[in-house]
């Protein structure tokens, strides 16, 4: 299990549970969500870390496109899958290790980034917005990403999922948990020094619009500001397995294998 990582949002996060408790004491669960998300979004606007046209659409997370409320809790009790969130900075090796976990342990690998890139290439209604957001290294609105993850999870007959590169912010995390009604069983965190991540991303050569030095710098900033708080949250919940991502692919996988071997009892 990892130690808590200092992050620049810590003072805000201390305030955040206080706000939650206050709203909860008022007996309004929906208001609790709306109010706290609103404060998060105001903060993110100030930091210029989320996409402008979508940034005040905090209530949209709970709605589908036809305006009806989204299902809260889309897994039945008997069919709740085992979920591992796989987090780490850009180029830390999440995708590489997920492919190996999927093969060795029978998981379905869902990469949030790949699902978003597929939306761009399928010319969907959100394609242009997703492309602009990824090019800027910012985070796509939760409702869009969760809809894609949900569609995949519902269409695949497996009870073990790796969700790679999501949630990227506290707002992503809160929305996912509200909409699905579940938390991940475990969270893998690939801990990698920034210079190594930059080297790996620049060497990836997959023709991605965001694998250039300017966007990488923005992605690293967004990771530190928005993704580390998610990792800290799940560390406090005792769910994080921190893996040193330095070493060869096989060396890193040996550490990953150990985690999944240890969790065998939990994985149905």
In contact, 104 and 260? CB cutoff 8 Å: yes
Interaction with ligand UDP in 158-187: which residues (CB under 6 A)? 165-166, 168
> For residue 181, what are the contacts with CB-CB under 8 A and spacing of at least 6?
72, 73, 74, 75
Instruction: For residue 235, state whether it binds ligand UDP (rule: CB under 6 A).
Output: no
Interaction with ligand ADP in 76-95: which residues (CB under 6 A)? 88, 90-95
Residues in the chain: 268
Instruction: For residue 168, state whether it binds ligand ADP (rule: CB under 6 A).
Output: no
CA angle, residues 204, 117, 254, in degrees to nearest 5: 50
Instruction: For residue 112, state whether it binds ligand ADP (rule: CB under 6 A).
Output: no
CB nearer to ligand ADP: pick between 17 and 247: 247
Dihedral sign, CA of 229, 159, 242, 209? Answer: negative
- Residue 95 is assigned to a ligand binding site: yes
Binding mask of the shown chain, residues 39 to 78, with x at each position contacting ligand ADP by CB under 6 A: ----------------------------------------
Q: Which of 215, 252, 256, 260 binds ligand ADP (CB under 6 A)?
A: 252
Ordered DSSP codes for 193-242: -HHHHHHHHHTT-S--TT-SHHHHHHHHHHIIIIIHHHHHHHHHTT-EEE
**Which of 214, 47, 39, 51 has the alpha carbon at shortest distance from 139?**
51
CB nearer to ligand ADP: pick between 20 and 246: 246
> For residue 219, what are the contacts with CB-CB under 8 A and spacing of at least 6?
89, 90, 137, 210
Instruction: For residue 140, state whether it binds ligand UDP (rule: CB under 6 A).
Output: yes
Identify the residue whose tokens are 């990403």. 145
- Residue 31 is assigned to a ligand binding site: no
Smallest gap from residue 123 Cβ to ligand ADP (A): 25
Q: Which of 204, 217, 236, 237 binds ligand ADP (CB under 6 A)?
A: 204
140 binds, among ligand ADP, ligand UDP, none (CB under 5 to 8 A by kind): ligand UDP
- Residue 117 is assigned to a ligand binding site: yes
- Residue 55 is assigned to a ligand binding site: no
Question: What 3-state DSSP class applies to 86?
Answer: strand
Q: Copy the structure tokens of residue 40.
A: 């998060």
Instruction: For residue 29, state whether it binds ligand ADP (rule: CB under 6 A).
Output: no
Interaction with ligand UDP in 87-106: which residues (CB under 6 A)? 90-91, 94
Helix H or strand E segment including 234: helix 228-236
Omega before 167 within 30 of 0, i.e. cis: yes
Give the count of beta carbons closer than 10 Å to the beta carbon of residue 161: 22
CB nearer to ligand ADP: pick between 33 and 190: 190
Binding residues (CB under 6 A) for ligand ADP: these are 88, 90-96, 200, 203-204, 247-249, 252
Where do contacts with ligand UDP occur on this chain (CB under 6 A)? Answer: 90-91, 94, 111-113, 116, 133-134, 137-140, 145, 165-166, 168, 210, 219
């Amino acid at each position: 299990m990892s130690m808590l990582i200092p992050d620049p949002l810590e003072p805000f996060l201390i305030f955040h549970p206080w706000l939650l408790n206050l709203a909860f004491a008022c007996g309004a669960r929906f208001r609790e969500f709306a109010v706290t998300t609103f404060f998060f979004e105001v903060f993110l606007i100030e930091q210029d870390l989320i996409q402008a046209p979508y940034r005040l659409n905090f209530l949209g997370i709970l709605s589908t496109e036809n305006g009806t409320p989204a299902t809260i809790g889309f897994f039945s009790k008997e069919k709740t899958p085992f979920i591992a969130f796989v987090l780490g900075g850009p180029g830390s090796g999440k995708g590489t290790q997920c492919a190996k976990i999927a093969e060795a342990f029978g998981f379905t690998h869902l990469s949030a980034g790949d699902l978003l890139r597929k939306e761009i290439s399928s010319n969907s209604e959100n394609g242009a917005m997703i492309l602009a957001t990824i090019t800027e290294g910012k985070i796509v609105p939760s409702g869009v990403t969760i809809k894609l993850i949900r569609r995949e999870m519902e269409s695949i007959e497996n009870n073990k999922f790796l969700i790679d590169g999501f949630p990227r912010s506290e707002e992503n995390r809160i929305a996912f948990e509200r909409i699905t009604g579940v938390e991940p069983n475990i969270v893998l965190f690939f801990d990698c020094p920034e210079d190594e991540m930059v080297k790996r991303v620049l060497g990836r050569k997959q023709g991605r619009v965001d694998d250039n030095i300017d966007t990488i710098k923005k992605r690293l900033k967004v990771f530190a500001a928005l993704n580390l708080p998610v990792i800290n949250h799940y560390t406090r919940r005792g769910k994080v397995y921190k893996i040193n991502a330095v070493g060869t692919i096989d060396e890193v996988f040996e550490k990953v294998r150990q985690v999944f071997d240890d969790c065998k009892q939990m994985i149905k």
